[in-house]
Amino acid sequence: MKSLFDEGLLLDLTLCVQQRKFRCHRNVLACTSPYFKAMFTADLTERGQAEVELHEVDPESVYLIIEYAYTGHIEITRSNAQNLLAASSLFQVTRVLKACATFMETQLDELNCVGVHYFAHIHNCTALRKKAQEFIEKNFVNVCHGEEFLSLPEDKLSEILSSSELNVEKEEIVLDALLNWTLHERDVRISSLSELLPQVRLALINSCYIQEVLGRNNLLSECTEFLKDLKTFEANPEKYAGKHAISTVLRSGMIKPDICILLIGGVDHKKPSINCYNPLTREAYFMAGFNEELSTGLYAVEDPACIVTDKNQIFVAGGNYIYHENLAECQSDDDSFEEYEEESVRKDFFMFDNDHDCWLSRAPMLFPKSNFALAQVGNTLFCFGGLTINQHPTEIIESYDITLNKWSYVSMMPTTLVDLSAVVHDDLIYVLGGRTGVGAHNVVMRYNPKKSEWLSLAGMPTPRFNFGACVMADEIYVCGGQIYSHTSHTINREALNSVEIYSIESNQWRQGPDLPEDMYNTGLFNLHGELYACGTTEYHRSAYRIYRFNVVYKLLSDQSTWKQVESDLCGTLRDYACVAAHMHTRKLSQVFRPDVDT
């Protein structure tokens, strides 16, 4: 049909749009669009017409949809997306409609989000409308000064002001936004102020500020009845029975996130496992699994790498995806991996969306790997070491541009390292420890990403891998981890409890306070100036039965004693990545813990 269309043969319909005419085949349009199918098959006037005039659509969009009907392809750009969405909505071309909406979601900014929200509502694009609304709420402080916001009709403004998800640290911002909207067309909007003011949670505003506003202009004087109710409420909230509902619910931006320890990925036959833990309150939560793991329930992700940026973005990369038809059928006493049918090292890369409790796919790494380290300098993540396909160690360094969502090859490390740690101080990356084969390293190297230069530093007193490391002031703390022990018949991994401290200024190590028990798979965190360690401990009842626990310790203020915070956080979970992040835990599912929540 496309060749007939191109050659102008057997064309039986002309669409007239403004001053332009498009000749085409009505059966092709009917196959693509329910709108045209109904037009040409139902008892309508247009059924027998050779020319059909279309209104309320632009010619270019009609042409693009005709082309799509013949080819199945369409180019959506910033300049045509909105008109094309309107046309595809009218013609009920669902695939084009969804594609336009998805494209417009990526183009949201502080100048157009209000208009897109209103536009999506008109065309019943629920997903786009929701995305635009979330963008307005998250960026309200800047959006409320834009022309689109100041031009909103009363009902749309009321909808925005009533949202508890506004990202504002103080309610004064919402009040000022309403007053500025009113002043934008004062004579017309002054009558709406008394209806809109109850959407502002004045009970959250200091009364001195309200008096200051009253002194600046007389807008609020039009709302004397509501202000009178507010005074009654403030005098005795419990007995308030006024006409107006007065809310004291905090907006989203007023609720500070909790600092939490995250256990990302890992293998646990007794899924689901706790993977978000607040060490201050001892409350625990479930975060969603990775996309593939969540959708099928058949995957466990062993030994991924995870990092939390200085902007609190949580990224997870790589790991071994371990598959079985039914994990629930694979539980065994020896806790071995023999029951798994398939294991695949991956290059997948995700970022966590706390607002929706889900992982968003990002550009995959260049090379699949597990057991590696990530570090951030500026807007770039750097990836060091690890195991790649067939468990081969790699010395490749690759980097990820957070803004561009793009990975690039950087260079090679001086040596291959697996299960290493990396920390950052003054934009320099310190790579520590790790293993190669059955040997542990005490290596410490400093990498300058601007110059792509390496410098060897004083080695750790104790070689170790699978350990925790973090920066405290101008020192690097390392703790726990594993080392290989060699006997005449076997090579075993033994866990460590030692803590060692490196002075960046003097390039020297000293001993720190030992952990109360051996620990590996360790995460070490500086949480508000206090040091926390989270990791796995093992107890061997016999040669064939091993009990594993995930424990949390806190270094007390005397800097010489560790206090146990949790003795068994999440059972048998192992081979996870352990990081700390600020989390809005109200967006997650809380885990009931009888010893904490009762």
What is the C-alpha separation between 305 and 318, in angstroms, rounded?
7
Q: Tokens 């635009």 map to which residue? A: 132
Inside any domain, residue 91: yes
State whether 229 and 287 are in the same domain: no
What strand order describes the sheet that includes 546-555? 520-527, 530-540, 546-555, 562-566
Inside any domain, residue 119: no
Taking CB atoms within 8 Å and a gap of at least 24, the contacts of 563-566 are: 564/516, 565/279, 565/282, 565/532, 566/277, 566/279, 566/282
DSSP character at residue 164: T
Residue 466 Cα to chain centre, angstroms: 26
State whether 331 and 458 are in the same domain: yes
State whether 492 and 359 are in the same domain: yes
* pLDDT tens-digit map of 21-77: 888 888 889 899 998 888 888 877 777 787 888 888 999 999 999 999 989 999 999
We report the CATH number of the domain holding residue 153 as 1.25.40.420
Inside any domain, residue 114: no
Beta strand spans in 160-221 (E): none
Inside any domain, residue 56: yes
Inside any domain, residue 208: yes
Inside any domain, residue 117: no
Strand partners, 399: 382, 408
What is the C-alpha separation between 78 and 98, in angstroms, rounded?
15
We report the CATH number of the domain holding residue 273 as 2.120.10.80
- The pLDDT, as a whole number, for residue 128 is 96
Number of domains within the chain: 3
What is the C-alpha separation between 345 and 253, in angstroms, rounded?
39
The tokens for 406 are: 């793009």
State whether 345 and 413 are in the same domain: yes
- Residues 366-376 have a mean pLDDT of 97
State whether 176 and 77 are in the same domain: no
Q: In which domain, by residue range, is 65 found?
A: 1-107
Strand partners, 540: 546
- Closest to 308 measured CA to CA, from 369, 257, 346: 257
More confident position, 268 or 121: 121
The tokens for 80 are: 């045509």
State whether 382 and 495 are in the same domain: yes
- What are the respective helix, strand and coil percentages of the chain, to the nearest 5? 30, 30, 40
State whether 238 and 270 are in the same domain: no
pLDDT category of residue 506 using cuts at 50, 70 and 90: very high
**Given 90, 107, 124, which residue is the final one in a domain?**
107
What is the C-alpha separation between 469 and 550, in angstroms, rounded?
17
We report the CATH number of the domain holding residue 9 as 3.30.710.10
The tokens for 328 are: 């629930």
User: Which of 139-153, 336-350, 403-417, 445-459 is predicted with the least confidence, judged by mean pLDDT?
Assistant: 336-350
- The pLDDT, as a whole number, for residue 598 is 63
State whether 430 and 361 are in the same domain: yes
What is the C-alpha separation between 329 and 326, in angstroms, rounded?
6
- The pLDDT, as a whole number, for residue 7 is 61
What is the C-alpha separation between 23 and 423, in angstroms, rounded?
65
User: Which of 402-416, 479-493, 528-542 is predicted with the least confidence, judged by mean pLDDT?
Assistant: 479-493
Element (H, E) at 396: strand 396-401
The tokens for 343 are: 């294991």
What is the C-alpha separation between 418 and 223, in angstroms, rounded?
67
**Given 255, 282, 304, which residue is the final one in a domain?**
255
- The pLDDT, as a whole number, for residue 215 is 77
In percent, the amount of the chain with pLDDT more than 90 equals 64
**Mean of pLDDT over the chain:** 89
DSSP character at residue 105: H
User: Do residues 418 and 303 make contact, with C-beta atoms less than 8 angstroms apart?
Assistant: no
pLDDT category of residue 572 using cuts at 50, 70 and 90: confident
- The pLDDT, as a whole number, for residue 541 is 67
State whether 83 and 148 are in the same domain: no
pLDDT category of residue 329 using cuts at 50, 70 and 90: very low
Q: Tokens 């505003």 map to which residue? A: 205
Residue 295 Cα to chain centre, angstroms: 18
- Inter-axis angle of helices 94-106 and 81-91, to 10 degrees? 150
pTM for the full model?
Answer: 0.84
The end-to-end CA distance of the chain, in Å, is: 71
Residue 580 Cα to chain centre, angstroms: 14
User: Do residues 30 and 42 make contact, with C-beta atoms less than 8 angstroms apart?
Assistant: no
Q: What DSSP assignment string belongs to 452-521? A: TEEEE-PPPSS--BS-EEEEETTEEEEE--EEEEE-SS-EEEEEB--EEEEETTTTEEEE-PPPSS-BEE
CA dihedral over 110, 115, 116, 121, signed as positive or negative: positive
Inside any domain, residue 131: no
pLDDT category of residue 331 using cuts at 50, 70 and 90: very low
- Considering 13-17, 159-163, 200-204, 526-530, the range whose residues carry the highest mean pLDDT is 159-163
The tokens for 309 are: 């940026």
Inside any domain, residue 533: yes
**Given 197, 224, 255, which residue is the final one in a domain?**
255
Q: Is the pLDDT of residue 95 over 80?
A: yes
State whether 89 and 168 are in the same domain: no
State whether 40 and 20 are in the same domain: yes
Residue 43 Cα to chain centre, angstroms: 52
* pLDDT tens-digit map of 173-200: 999 999 999 999 999 999 899 899 999 9
User: Which of 173-177, 368-372, 489-493, 536-540 is predicted with the least confidence, judged by mean pLDDT?
Assistant: 489-493
- The pLDDT, as a whole number, for residue 272 is 60
Q: Is the pLDDT of residue 553 over 80?
A: yes
More confident position, 299 or 458: 458
pLDDT category of residue 270 using cuts at 50, 70 and 90: low
What is the C-alpha separation between 382 and 377, in angstroms, rounded?
8
Element (H, E) at 423: strand 421-425
State whether 460 and 499 are in the same domain: yes
- The pLDDT, as a whole number, for residue 295 is 56
Q: Is the pLDDT of residue 129 over 90?
A: yes
What is the C-alpha separation between 179 and 210, in angstroms, rounded?
12
